[in-house]
Amino acid sequence: MRQLTEEETRTLFEKLANYVGRGLNELIAPPSGSEDPNERYVFRMHQMRVYHVKLGLVGLATSIPRDNLLSLGTCVGKFTKTGKFRIQITALDLLAPHARYKVHIKPNGTQPFLYGGNVLKAHVGRWSEDCPEHAGVVVVDMNDTPLGFGVTARSSAESRKLDPTAICVFSQSDIGNYLRDEDTLFTT
C-alpha cells in the first residue's frame, strides 16, 4: 500500500466532494473525543484501488507482502488506466451518512433501481431541497436505507415539471452490483 500522489488525491477528493460536499473532512477526522493519531482515517492505494483505512492498520499492514495483501479497510473505488477515478458500491457506507443530497425512492422503484436502471420521476418519493443538475446523490428507500448512488439528470425544481417516465437520476452504482459483478468486483 502506498500514499496517493498529489494528483491522485485531488482527483479522489473532487469525486468524493461531488457526493459529500463539506462532509469530506469527517471522512478523515478521528472519531470525536479521540486524541490518538492512529484513530485517524487515511486513503491508501493498492493495485490501482483506493482504500479508506485507519492509520493504525496501515502500520500493521506493512508487515504483509504486497502480493499477499488483497484488501485493507473499505474500498472507495479505483483509478482507471487513463487516470479517472470510479467510485465503487463498496463506498456506499462512507457516502450515505455524509451525503449532501439524497433522493428517496418509492417501493415500486426499488427493484428497477437495484437491477441497474435509472430513477424515473414516477419512482421519486422526495428530494433534498435545492439539488442542482449533475450533482452526486445517494439513492435511499423511504426508510432511509442506502441503495446506491448516482448523478441527477435535472435539478429538483425542474424535475417536478417532468412527465412520470422522465429520468431524474442516472444510476452510477447500486447494491445489486454485489451480485451482478461478484466475479470482478475485487479482482485486478
pLDDT-based confidence at residue 188 (cuts at 50, 70, 90): low
> 114-157 pLDDT, tens per residue?
999 999 999 999 988 889 999 999 999 999 999 999 999 999 88
Cα 58 from Cα 86, distance rounded (Å): 23
Residues of the chain with CATH 3.10.450.220: 2-94
| DSSP helix/strand/coil, 147 | strand
Cell numbers at 122, concatenated = 414516477
Which fold does the domain 2-94 belong to in CATH?
Answer: Nuclear Transport Factor 2; Chain: A, (3.10.450)
Cα 75 from Cα 73, distance rounded (Å): 7
What does pTM read for this prediction?
0.86
pLDDT-based confidence at residue 33 (cuts at 50, 70, 90): low
Give the type of residue at 108: N
What was the pLDDT predicted at 39?
A: 78
The hierarchical CATH code for the domain 99-179 is 2.30.130.10
Give the type of residue at 97: P
Does residue 34 register a pLDDT over 70? no
- Give the rounded distance of the alpha carbon of 139 from its chain centre: 11
Closest by CA to 147, choosing from 156, 138, 155, is 138
Residues of the chain with CATH 2.30.130.10: 99-179
> Minimum mean pLDDT among 29-43, 82-96, 116-130: which range?
29-43
| DSSP helix/strand/coil, 106 | coil
